[in-house]
C-alpha cells in the first residue's frame, strides 16, 4: 500500500510537470512542421516579424506567417540533408529571460523549442530547429558537441545561396 501511495505521488508530480511545459501559452498556431504556443497575438506577430523581416496583419495573412516559419524548417533540413519522417516540433514563445539565460533552446526530453520573442532571429530559430531535426533524424542522437558542429554549419549556410 505504501508503495502504491509513493508511486501515485510520483506519477502525479510527473504529470503536473509535463502539463506545465505545455501550458505555456493559451493560444496555438500550427504550421506544417510546428505547433507554436503563445500568450498574446503580439508575441506571435513579433516572432514572425523577427524571423521574417516585415510586419503584417496575422489574422489576414496567417498563411504568410506559416510559410515563413516552415521555410526556415525546410531550409535547415536541406542544409543538413536530413529529412526526419513526420517531423514536428513544438515552440513556446515567451517574453523576457528564459530558464537557461539564452535567446532560445531546444529541449530533447520535451522535443520543444523555448523562444525569447524579444531577441529571436531567423538564425537563432534555424539553429534550434537544427537541433530538433538532428534529434528526430537519428534513432540515437549524436553527442552535443557533434550537434553543435552541425548547427553551426546551418548558421553559416542558412541564406548563403540567396
Q: What is the largest CA-CA distance in the chain?
A: 65
pLDDT exceeds cutoff 60 at 161: yes
pLDDT exceeds cutoff 80 at 35: yes
* 8 Å CB contact between 89 and 134: no
The per-residue pLDDT for range 44-53, each reduced to its tens digit, is 999 999 998 8
Mean pLDDT for the stretch of residues 13-41: 70
Domain chopping of the chain, boundaries: 25-157
Which residues in 6-162 belong to E strands, given as ranges? 27-30, 34-38, 89-94, 104-107, 112-116
Which residues neighbour 98 within 8 Å (Cβ) at sequence distance 6 or greater? 104, 105, 114, 116
Decide: helix, strand or coil at residue 94.
strand
CATH for the 25-157 domain, from 2.60.40, 3.30.2010, 3.30.56, 3.40.50: 3.30.2010
Indicate the average pLDDT of the chain: 83
What's the predicted TM-score (pTM) here?
0.80
Displacement of CA 66 from its chain's centroid (Å)? 14
Q: How far apart are the first and last CA of the chain?
A: 65
Amino acid at each position: 500500500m505504501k508503495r502504491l501511495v509513493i508511486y501515485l505521488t510520483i506519477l502525479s508530480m510527473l504529470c503536473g510537470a509535463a502539463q506545465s511545459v505545455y501550458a505555456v501559452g493559451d493560444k496555438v498556431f500550427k504550421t506544417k512542421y510546428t505547433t507554436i504556443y503563445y500568450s498574446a497575438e503580439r508575441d506571435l506577430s513579433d516572432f514572425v516579424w523577427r524571423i521574417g523581416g516585415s510586419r503584417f496583419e496575422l489574422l489576414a495573412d496567417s498563411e504568410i506567417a506559416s510559410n515563413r516559419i516552415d521555410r526556415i524548417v525546410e531550409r535547415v533540413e536541406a542544409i543538413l540533408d536530413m529529412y526526419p519522417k513526420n517531423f514536428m516540433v513544438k515552440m513556446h514563445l515567451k517574453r523576457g529571460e528564459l530558464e537557461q539565460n539564452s535567446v532560445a533552446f531546444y529541449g530533447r526530453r520535451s522535443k520543444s523549442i523555448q523562444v525569447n520573442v524579444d531577441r529571436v532571429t531567423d538564425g537563432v530559430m534555424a539553429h534550434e530547429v537544427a537541433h530538433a531535426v538532428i534529434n528526430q533524424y537519428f534513432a540515437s542522437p549524436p553527442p552535443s558537441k557533434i550537434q553543435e558542429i552541425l548547427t553551426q554549419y546551418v548558421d553559416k549556410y542558412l541564406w548563403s545561396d540567396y
